[in-house]
């Protein structure tokens, strides 16, 4: 049976693998070709946001909601 440390380690490893798998491929890939749709609402991420933050996976509104939720969780 796993203890809390084992569970925490497994969770960290899964999150790290997911983050690494979803990170932008900075070398040799055109960032403008990345998915232009917000992963939360499905609307198109404005071109200006994609240009300013090519790693963004959410529109500005959804990102604001995510940040609000994070503030309330702590």
What's the per-residue H, E or C state across 21-66? HHCCCCCCCCHHHCCCECCCCCCECCHHHHHHCCCCCCCHHHHHHH
- Residue-by-residue pLDDT tens, the chain, 74 positions: 678 988 889 999 998 888 777 766 554 445 444 678 999 999 999 999 988 888 889 999 999 999 999 888 75
Q: Please check whether residue 61 is in contact with residue 41, taking contact to mean a CB–CB distance below 8 angstroms.
A: yes
Q: Rounded to two decimals, what is the model's pTM?
A: 0.52
């Amino acid at each position: 049976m796993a203890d809390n440390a084992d569970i925490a380690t497994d969770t960290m490893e899964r999150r790290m693998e997911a983050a690494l798998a979803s990170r932008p491929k900075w070398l040799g890939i055109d960032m403008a070709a990345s998915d232009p749709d917000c992963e939360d609402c499905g609307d198109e991420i404005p071109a200006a946001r994609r240009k300013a933050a090519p790693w963004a996976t959410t529109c500005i509104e959804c990102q604001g909601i995510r940040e609000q939720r994070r503030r309330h969780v702590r």
